[in-house]
Structure 1
Amino acid sequence: MPETQSSQKVQEFKTFVKANPFVLKKVKRGEKTLQELFEEWMLFGEDDQTWFDDEEDQGEKEATTADKSNKVAGMLSAIKQMNLDEVQKGIEQFSGAVYSIQEVLSQFRSKPKQQAPYIHSHSPFPFRHD
């Protein structure tokens, strides 16, 4: 490529990157170098779907992160609104109920039956002589 055409392509790539900053995410994560991105841009062009797949993936990651932070914030606000004395009472009642259930179950458990001693004659045959 002549020098002017090469520098023109570099300028076009810079414009593409400025318009689509998500392209540089792979460079920042260390997955690709800027040279590799430039070469892909030269091969595939700026309209290739691979550029926009990265943008969608990034959008999904950001949405997932936002959902998680909203859930955490909701949990924290719920914890702040809890009356700890009420929670303690509830735990004590639950513990008492579990203990009561264990007591009832232990009463219903049958102790293992002891087998009656096996009484038989010294004869190896199961029938009796008349």
Structure 2
Amino acid sequence: MTSKKTHPSVQQFKEFVKKHPKLVQEVRKGNKEWQEVFEDWYLLGENDIVWKQYKGDQTEDSSEKETKSKSDFMTQIFSAVKQMDMDTVNHHINNMSSTISTIQGLFDQFGGSKGSNQKSATASQHPFSFRKD
């Protein structure tokens, strides 16, 4: 395959779009078309005031929002831990522990007859034995 060399103005436009990622969003939303954006860029130039709204500050905004949400979450966790009554928490943990122990005891008690139940289950799956003559 032969590769075509793109026009230098197209290369410059691609670099411009990389610096202004909100333009891509506008085109994907259907608010603008690439031809229209290219013509405006070609006529107005790269340094026009129109392009400031499309600058790539969105990554900083999203990272700031993410750190704020993480800090809010951690603040909520710490406030919930501070409000807990440790005696009540200890009581619930002990109840859960005894419940788990009871369930494990039931499994151990009925676990011994599990092997014989498996043999009878396989026999009940094939009640008649057919053999080829």
Taking structure 1 as the reference length, the TM-score comes to: 0.47
| Larger RCO, structure (CA 8 Å, separation 6 or more) | 2
Instruction: Compare the two structures and name the one with the higher helix fraction.
Output: 2
Taking structure 2 as the reference length, the TM-score comes to: 0.46
